[in-house]
Structures are given as structure tokens and as C-alpha cells.
A and B are shown apart, each in its own frame.
Chain A
Amino acid sequence: MSHTVLVCDDAIFMRTMISDILAQAGFEVVGEAETGSQAVEKYRQLKPDLVTMDIVMPDMGGIDAVREIVKHDPDAKILMCSAMGQQALVVEAIQAGAKDFVVKPFQPSRVLEAVQRVLG
């Protein structure tokens, strides 16, 4: 059975691209979220095997969403999607419980490596 994924990013562009990369590698994207609070809500509903989480999102940011999700499911496998220059934020996200991170611009091979590490 393929792994299920929840993709969280406020840009459709990014969601589409991440979904495409993961789908082509055989993952099943079961949901998308545009804000941190949506991500928390959908995680509860969908119980995905993996979450990709943008750091900067409106309403509730990615790091707060990680905290919320991990509070309810300490085993949640969350992959942060960050941009160059967000060192401090990535460190904060990992301390909050994120399992790994990838840096934009995305290279499909690097995204998939990170996903394997998180799920492995």
C-alpha cells in the first residue's frame, strides 16, 4: 500500500509541484491545506503517513502547526519546506518536532530522499 501524504502550503503552485513529485514517486496525496490551522484539522481527519509543511503560512504558521500536531501525535512524520535564509526557523521547527526539512527551490530527488528518511 502506498503512503498517504498531507501537503500544506499557502501557494497552489507549491502544493501542485510537491503533489506532482510525490505522486510520481507512488505516494498518495490525500489532502492539502493552505493554512496552519487547516493543516492541524486535516491531520486529525486524515491521519496521513507524512505531512509536508510550509513554514510561512497565513493564519497559523507551519511551526505552530507542527507543535499542535505533535501534541496530539508525537509520532507524526512532518517534513518542513523552507526557503534559503530560514535557518533559525528550521531549527525552531525541528525543536518543535519536525522530522526533516527540504529547502526551496525543490529538486525532486532531494525531496524524495528526505521523505525516505522521514518514513524510514
Chain B
Amino acid sequence: MLIDKSHRVWMIITIVAFALSTFLYVGYSTAMPSGPSGGTWQGLGFGIAGSALMMFAGLLAGRKKLPRLPIGTARFWLKAHIWLGLLSVPLILFHAGFRWGGPLEQVLLFVFAVVIASGIAGVVFQQYLPRVMKESTNREAMFEQLPHVCAALRVTADEQVVATCGSLFPPADDSPREQESLREFYVANVRPFLAAKIDHRAPLLNASRAAAVFSQMQRAAPASSRGTLTRLASICDERRELARQARLHKWLHYWLFVHVPLSMSLLVLAIAHIVASVYY
């Protein structure tokens, strides 16, 4: 979701609520002889408000499972998730009195911090990465289709090399062949680069280094191989763009693997903390 003008109202509401809660906290903390505490009724109020906002933010997952219910659009829920989730941060800090607390509270705060940080990272990624993907990659494919696309590129490259060198395998006899350097170069460097998974140290992954390698091969190879080398360079460019697209896609989505599971942990720990604190 992009943070655009449609978020203005939410932003204002969040800022006003933050200012009001800060004002209340300052007044309450200075009035308390022993400082703010989560156990006072004011501290409990902040805790309940923060927890309620966290719980509401967690309901986004349920909302996605029930798209037909007339309880607001997905965009509305996502905006509420973002802004109310952010607002829960100062409320929880006010509840804690800016203290770490005991073992359970410390784990809770740590998990809470990671969840919030991952959520903010996700919003930032979603704000900038799609544009980067669009500007930096001319050729795109659906992320789930990337292995198939890579396989197709490899088949095409194999055909080009076989047509030039006759075979991808070394010759049976030791007689020198004119295209042997091309075949060896393709088998050792290019073909592995066209696989679905690339070694991050592969020299062809870097565009300038790949250009230098191909340039060197062009000078050393016989004239009959130069056309094939040019086509292989183009295929490698396409593969490089697909790799970049995959990497950006992971950044765009994998933060959820941190955010969502830890949210579940946060929920469980928060319930344990609430029950114990309110009982004792």
C-alpha cells in the first residue's frame, strides 16, 4: 500500500491521539510520587488502549479471510492496521513507564519492537521497491514463473551453443577444435548462471563484470563464435534482470515472514501478561 493523500485523515487522527496521550501521560507521571507505573489505573488505561489497538491491527488477517463481510474495504482495514498499529507504540511505552520490566515484559517488548520494525520496513519497502522494480527491469516475469522462464532461457542458450560447437560435451578425441573455448566458457560460466538458483558470487551477476568477460571472450574467440557470444550475452542480461526482480520481490514480501509469526507470539505473550498483571 502506498502512503498517499488518502492517508492524510488517518495521519491527523494518529498525531492528535498521540499528542493527547502524551499530554495525559506527562500530567500523570509528574503527579505520581513514585513515577509512572503500569499498575496504576492510568497505566492500566494506557495498557488497555495499546493492547486494543494491537488486537485490532491483528484482525487484519481475519478480515482478509472474510472479504465478503460488509465491515469496510481491505484498503480501509490496511490503513487502520498501519496507523493504529503505529499509535499503539507510544501507548504501550506510556503503560510501561519507559521501563523494561521483568522477564516476560522484556520478551514482550522485544517482540513488540521487532513486529513494529518489520511492519514499518514493510511499509517502506512497499512505498519504494515497486517503482525501483519498474525502473530497473525492462523484462519481467511473474515471480512464481521465474524457474520456468530460467529453464526456457537455458534451453535457448543450449541450442545456440550446440548449433555452434556441435555438442555441449567435450570431444571424444583430443583433437583441438576451433569452438572448444566457447563450449568450455558456456558450460563453466554461462549455463550455471541460467539455473533457477544462482550463486551470489557468480561473476556474470554483476553487469559490468559480465560485459568485461564477454568482451574478453569476443576478442579471443574465432569469428564464427562471436555471433553466439553476442546472443549469450543478451540471454545473460535477461537472466540478470530476472535475478534482480526476484531479489526485489523477496524484499517486498519476505518481511511478512517476520511480521506475521511474531505477531502471533506477541498476541500469546500479551494475553499471558494481561492475565497475570490484572490477577495480581
**A, B from the same assembly:** no
Report B's interface with A, CB cutoff 8 A.
none
Report A's interface with B, CB cutoff 8 A.
none
